[in-house]
Amino acid sequence: MDSDQNKSQLPVKSDSSPPQIKGGSEVQTGLGFLPRTDSIQPEEKISIAQDEGFNPLAIELAMGSYKTSASYKLLLFILTIIAAVLVGFLFPVNRFFKPKTEDLGTMTIGAPVIEESQMLLKAFNEPWLKVLLEMDRLYFREGKLTEAIQVAESNLERVPQINWESWKKVHYRYWELLSDAGRSLTLKTATRAYLQTIPEDPFANYYSAHAFLAAVDRIRSFNQKTRQVYRREAETLIRQIDRACNALNAQTKTLSIKEKKTTLRDLYQKLRLQQAKLFVLIWRLGGYKEDSHPDVVYRDKALNICNRDELAHLKEAKELKISIYSHILDRWYWFEGQQVIQGAKQKRKTLVEERRALKKELNDTANL
């Protein structure tokens, strides 16, 4: 009996082969790990989700295509372009990153040519160069302005008009000296004669306008006849400057030297500023009229020139805008709500703030 009980407690030997250890991936599967997501097809994913009891709508949203359609990409591109245009219009770069104010200065042919005079005379045996060297020596080294002007006049009166262009450097320095001496009437006569021969010369146009503006600026009151004479002369100078600027633009297009392009750009800026001053003068001759007066168009033309990208950062342009704004505000009565300036209605407060900002920019530059 006991022997039977002992036999029943002995382990029963199985006929099956010993169990084999499963591979790592099979063990993980047995422990509940799913294969990598990439190995399951979308249909299988949907079937598993349905078996797990997920909402059909949630399954549809989760299994949506991750690829963006061509129409949707086009829509995004159009919206991006529209946004970029709006940002550029509403937040221009100049509003936050304004270029540094620069002083353009007067028209000049540069520093005196006196340091290497002997070498220059040997290299260029030109009569005009000898005269220029003598003028620069008298003025820049010895401070004899009157004598330097006399040297220029005594030599230029012997030069035929057909050769004036080859003597242009002497003419340019002569005009500079006349401007420094304040001899505006002589300067006006000299440049007018030169323009009859070479009408598109930028120096001649600049100094002709400079002499005219300097002469008129001294006059505090005008009779009706004088106003008309000065107005016609100003309009003639404006047209001449237009032709000179067009000639400079044509030269710039054909140049590849950066330094030469910079020089022509400076000449262009100086001429346009003179043109803006002439527009303001015509407005002044009309009595600084406002509103619907025909002369207001000249005031706005001057402001348009000053607001150009290539001129807006210049000290002279800002000073001219301040002067224009001051004349407008002086005639702006307290009961007036808005005025049309450059084709848009503006409030007095806006103009006052802009003038204050311009003055601050000039003061900040002066304090540097």
- Per residue in 311-326, pLDDT tens? 989 999 999 999 999 9
Confidence of residue 10 (pLDDT cuts 50, 70, 90): very low
Which two three-digit tokens encode residue 261?
């392009």
Two structure tokens written together for 234: 């100003």
Instruction: Return the pLDDT at 144.
Output: 95
| pLDDT at 340 > cutoff 50 | yes
Averaged pLDDT score across all residues of the chain: 82
In the chain, what is the straight-line distance between the N-terminal and C-terminal CA atoms, in Å? 120
Q: Where are the alpha helices (DSSP H) in 202-257?
A: 202-217, 224-253
pLDDT at 157 over 90: yes
Phi, psi of 8 (to 5 degrees): -70, -25
pTM of the predicted model as reported, rounded to 2 decimal places = 0.71
Domain 192-286 falls in which CATH fold? Methane Monooxygenase Hydroxylase; Chain G, domain 1 (1.20.58)
Per residue in 212-229, pLDDT (tens digit) is 999 998 888 889 899 999
| Mean pLDDT across 280-286 | 94
User: Whose structure tokens read 């002083």?
Assistant: 103
Residue with more model confidence, 289 or 280: 280
Are the C-beta atoms of residues 315 and 285 closer than 8 Å to each other?
Answer: no
% residues pLDDT > 70 (the chain)? 80
User: What stretch of H or E contains 21?
Assistant: none
Task: Quote the pLDDT of residue 56.
Answer: 76
Is the pLDDT at 308 greater than 50, yes or no? yes
Q: What is the mean pLDDT of residues 178-201?
A: 95
- Comparing 18 with 121, the larger pLDDT belongs to 121
Checking if the pLDDT of 68 tops 70, the result is no
Determine what percent of the chain is predicted with pLDDT higher than 90.
47
Q: Look at residue 221 in the predicted model and tell me its pLDDT.
A: 85
CB within 8 Å of 135: residues ≥ 6 apart: 148, 151, 152, 170, 173, 174, 177
Question: Higher pLDDT residue, 138 or 107?
Answer: 138
Say which residue, 169 or 91, is predicted with more confidence. Answer: 169
What is the pLDDT averaged over residues 65-71? 64
More confident residue, 119 or 72: 72
Q: What is the 3-state secondary structure (H, E, C) of 280-304?
A: HHHHHHCCCCCCCCCCHHHHHHHHH
Distance separating alpha carbons of residues 173 and 153, to the nearest angstrom: 11
Of 60 and 245, more confident: 245
Residues in Cβ contact with 347 at an 8 Å cutoff, skipping those fewer than 6 apart: 337, 338
**Segments making up each domain of the chain, as ranges:** 106-181, 192-286, 289-368
Q: Average pLDDT in the 295-301 region?
A: 93
pLDDT of residue 184: 94
* Kind of pairing between the strands at 338-341 and 344-347: antiparallel
Look up residue 337 and give its two tokens: 């709500």
Compute the residue count for the chain: 368
Tokens of 180: 């420094």
DSSP H/E element including 69: none
Q: 275 phi and psi, to 5 degrees?
A: -65, -40
Q: How confident is the model at residue 368 (pLDDT cuts 50, 70, 90)?
A: low
103's CB contacts (< 8 A; 6+ apart) are 314, 315, 316
